[in-house]
Amino acid sequence: MSANKIKGSLLEYIVRRLLTNCGFTKVQPDNKYIFNDRGLNFIHGKGAAHDADVLMNPPIQMPFSYPFRINFECKAYNKKAGLTIIRNALGLRYDINEFEILSERQIEERRDLRRINLAISNRTRFNYQVGVASVEQFTKDAIEFAANNKIPLISLKWLFPDDVCNLFHQITDTYLTNIFTKEQRDNLLLFLKGHNQFEDIFSQQIDSHIKTIINSVRDFENRIIIGLLESGDMIFLFSDTAIDRRYFTENRVINARYHFYAEDINLWTIVLNGYLELKFYLPESIINIWRENNFEIREALNLKERLFGKLFIFPGNPTFKIINLDENWLNNVR
């Protein structure tokens, strides 16, 4: 079992856990349009079947649309993810969304205008979004291309300390051979792929880099909530301590106030009803708009009004909550 395969599966495990913690559910293969082969999930596209790294259902669906699914392509490279990777993600999104079954029989049936049955495949169709997750950062042109094509990005460097991320690159073939037996490596891969019956392989390894990374993830997921802006930008709301998610179970209107600080204008805070304070990094697309206006305070207020009027968050239980901008506060600030 190669180190590259273990590192890729470890990144998939992390992304899957973060999304599951926010109410997403794993898509189960139907063995027809989505199938499992050699432990990997594949999804059919217009041109070929594609390996689906992390294929998930969102906690809610939008009406008047095919149900959505998201697939994250995971890249555990020791360098920044570049433009080519994001372009491939765009091509993948097109290919799996354009997939359709059209048989010769259906073509013949279309010639009969008096036909009773529809000459289409009787199946549930989905809108697929494709994102990219990376251990390292993304290059500037990759971020710009992703923003313009609405491709969500996740970098572990945005979420975890450098020392945790750097452990990924210390997982080599030699390291794995010294730490794990072949059977343990095989079971470790199954565990990372979602087979929980192999949890023991994780708990037995006290001093492994993999255990350190997973422990950091399990600690962090208690301190993070995924948010979605009306623009479609995804943000990660996080706290220095575990978030008490019972706060979101009560039937209350939650209003938000947004702040930034001159020391780090990319790092914003959101204060909910004057009580719960969370942090998040401003999406690159919004930073670019602000940069064009020389990071003026007046433009920051305009951005809050235009883009943060509603924030959709997924705290896990409940799976969905709408956070409204505190307009009275914003008017007073103006």
- Spell out the domain ranges in the chain: 3-221, 230-333
**3-state DSSP call for residue 51?**
strand
Q: How many residues does the chain have?
A: 334
Task: Give the DSSP letter string of 98-118.
Answer: S-----HHHHHHHT-TT-SS-
Q: What's the pLDDT score for residue 204?
A: 61
Q: In a 10 Å sphere around its CB, with 0-12 CB exposed, 13-18 middle and 19+ buried, how is residue 32 labelled? A: exposed
Eight-class DSSP state of 87 = H
The separation between the first and the last C-alpha atoms of the chain, rounded to the nearest angstrom, is 59
Residues ≥6 apart with Cβ < 8 Å to 265: 282, 290, 295
For the record, the structure tokens of 298 come out as 């007046």
Distance CA 309, CA 305 (A): 6
For 71-97, how does the pLDDT look when each residue is reduced to its tens digit (9 = 90+)?
999 999 999 999 999 999 999 999 999
For 189-200, how does the pLDDT look when each residue is reduced to its tens digit (9 = 90+)?
888 887 765 566
Give, to the nearest 10 degrees, the angle between helix 297-307 and helix 284-292.
Answer: 140
Q: Tokens 């091509």: give the residue.
A: 91
Query: Cis omega (within 30 of 0) on the bond before 318?
Result: yes
| CATH no. for 3-221 | 3.40.1350.10
Q: What's the pLDDT score for residue 268?
A: 95
Amino acid identity of residue 73, one-letter, is E
What is the chain's mean pLDDT, rounded? 87
Residues ≥6 apart with Cβ < 8 Å to 267: 260, 261, 279, 280, 281, 282
Of residues 117 and 163, more confidently modeled: 163
Q: What's the whole-model pTM score? A: 0.82
pLDDT band at 145 (very low <50, low <70, confident <90, very high): very high
Distance CA 52, CA 194 (A): 14
Q: What's the pLDDT score for residue 34?
A: 93
For 265-323, how does the pLDDT look when each residue is reduced to its tens digit (9 = 90+)?
889 999 999 889 999 989 888 988 999 999 998 999 999 999 999 999 888 766 678 99
